[in-house]
Structure 1
Amino acid sequence: MGAKAQILLVTALLAGQAQAAETVSASRHAAFWLWSGVKASDELRNAQTVYLHQGEVLTRSGQVVFQRLGLPVSRLTFPSIWLTVRFTTLEVPQAIPARLVRLMQRWQAAGNHVVGLQVDFDAATHQLADYARFLRELRQQLPPEFALGVTGLLDWAKTGEVATLNALPVDELVVQSYQGRHTVANYQAYLPALARLRIPFKLGLVQNGSREPQAEAQLNASPWYRGTVVFMLKP
């Protein structure tokens, strides 16, 4: 192959790579995280499922408390909602799960379809067994009509024990492909490991981040894959 032909081939390959990656456009998706302080924009007008950030469980002055955040209880137009709570500790007194149950019941009573509680906790991969024990205890404190979901990290499936993940007592796992406001570099390298999951899972994307639909297409072969969730950003 001549030098000119090689240059043309490399140029074509680079152009193909550029076309493969695209910006995450919220309007093309149906499920979203709506964190406290972020307003629902017109891009959510076709939303089917919204994960509402409702507060954080944290340690304050030596005591574990629930800090209420996010939208007040009201009737929303979204077909279904999850209540998402950020946990910074797993040493949680029983009064907090009871309060979260009451919060879900209030949203339900306001006329919303509340799927359940989503726990947002960055468990280290080597601590997944401890996290599973916490979730089993939490599951026992939730009424059966509410599902239990969790967010997850990309390396859980790649470097952790997939059998541990598949044994998590959850109804859904949403694996985040981003950190902060940006997509994890080479996130697509983690996707084959997700195909080994045997629990319902989704892929979390960040608004205006980068994605490779061709790489994500491999997840469609899994009967456990439930699509994407977009983390909405402040303008």
Structure 2
Amino acid sequence: MGTKAQVLLVVALLTGQSQAADLVNAREHQAFWLWSGVKASADLKNAQTVYLHQGEVLTRSGEVIFQRLGLPVSRLTFPTIWLTVRFTTLDVPEAIPARIVHLMQRWQKTGNQVIGLQVDFDAATHQLADYAVFLRQLRQQLPPEFALGVTGLLDWAKTGDIDTLNALPVDELVVQSYQGRHTVDNYAHYLPALQRLRIPFKLGLVQNGSWDAQDDAQLRTSAWYRGTVVFMLKQPGR
């Protein structure tokens, strides 16, 4: 093999290694979303925290209901869990939070360490103040032993009112860097704005999506950064 061919081969190998390193390898992370319909796999063997999708609050035939989804209540091997509920409306009758609290207590009584409730709601950036009102009301309905967390959008810290964001009555914010099954193309452009957060936050990644170790190093300069959460995808044939 000639010198030029050898150089090209080395470049190709290095490029391939770089691309492989940029993919989100679930085995290298410790926190995961396990959505309904997605089975736990060996990729979660190092899991310390799992966010279990347990249902959705939605409007059906003009009535707001809680649709139960996800794993049945059982004893899991994960050290800690959050229960994640997807909200499509904030006009929620009091009976629904009470039902969710009961579900959390059942998971706790089965021997699981339940940290709290994570609300998954795509609040528009300009409506964060209204979202904060809803979260304060919800917080009052949670027993004190349970934390309250939310998922968030990349745009919240970049174009939203940072004071309103930092005043959200939550114990944790997980900012999603993906849409659907794919990483947002320019997600890295939003990361510097996260440095202005003064509430505990994590960055949500998608399995097999894009991720750069340098981005993680940048975020770790913030005292409020708590690491990553990987959204696990349903694998073909499973």
**Is 2:181 the partner of 1:181?**
yes
CA shift, 1:188, in A, is: 0.7
Task: Provide the residue aligned with 1:94 in structure 2.
Answer: 94
Any runs of at least 4 consecutive aligned residues in structure 1 with deviations exceeding 2 A, and if so which?
14-21
Task: Provide the residue aligned with 1:103 in structure 2.
Answer: 103
CA shift, 1:217, in A, is: 1.1
CA shift, 1:111, in A, is: 0.1
CA shift, 1:115, in A, is: 0.1
Structure 2: 5+ residue stretches without partners: 1-10
CA shift, 1:212, in A, is: 1.3
**Is 2:114 the partner of 1:114?**
yes
Aligned positions, number: 225
Task: Provide the residue aligned with 2:123 in structure 1.
Answer: 123
Tell me the alpha carbon deviations over residues 129-177 of structure 1, each in whole angstroms, 9 at most, x when there is no partner. 0000000000000000000000000000001011111000000000000
Q: Distance in 1 between matches of 2:138 and 2:25?
A: 35
CA shift, 1:88, in A, is: 0.1
Q: Distance in 1 between matches of 2:18 and 2:123?
A: 34
Identity across the alignment (%) = 82
Note if contact 1:58-1:66 (Cα within 8 Å) is conserved in structure 2.
Answer: yes
Amino acid in the other structure paired with 2:198: R
Task: Provide the residue aligned with 2:6 in structure 1.
Answer: none
Note if contact 1:21-1:210 (Cα within 8 Å) is conserved in structure 2.
Answer: no
Secondary structure in structure 1 of the residue aligned to 2:116: strand
Task: Provide the residue aligned with 1:3 in structure 2.
Answer: none
Give the CA RMSD over aligned residues.
1.9
Task: Describe how 1:1-235 pairs up with structure 2 within 5 A.
Answer: 18=18, 22-235=22-235
CA shift, 1:67, in A, is: 0.1
Tell me the alpha carbon deviations over residues 92-123 of structure 1, each in whole angstroms, 9 at most, x when there is no partner. 00000000000000000000000000000000
Q: TM-score, normalised by structure 2?
A: 0.91
Q: Distance in 1 between matches of 2:127 and 2:88?
A: 14
Q: TM-score, normalised by structure 1?
A: 0.92
- Name the CA shift for 1:222/1:20 in 2 (closer, same or farther; >3 Å): farther
CA shift, 1:19, in A, is: 5.6
Secondary structure in structure 2 of the residue aligned to 1:211: coil
Amino acid in the other structure paired with 1:187: Y
Q: Distance in 1 between matches of 2:177 and 2:85?
A: 19
CA shift, 1:16, in A, is: 11
CA shift, 1:20, in A, is: 9.5
Amino acid in the other structure paired with 1:185: D
CA shift, 1:186, in A, is: 1.5
Structure 1: 5+ residue stretches without partners: 1-10
Note if contact 1:188-1:216 (Cα within 8 Å) is conserved in structure 2.
Answer: no
CA shift, 1:15, in A, is: 5.3
Tell me the alpha carbon deviations over residues 25-50 of structure 1, each in whole angstroms, 9 at most, x when there is no partner. 00000000000000000010110000
Amino acid in the other structure paired with 2:34: L
CA shift, 1:21, in A, is: 6.2
Amino acid in the other structure paired with 1:22: D
CA shift, 1:64, in A, is: 0.2
Secondary structure in structure 2 of the residue aligned to 1:195: helix
- Name the CA shift for 1:188/1:21 in 2 (closer, same or farther; >3 Å): farther
Q: Distance in 2 between matches of 1:154 and 1:54?
A: 24
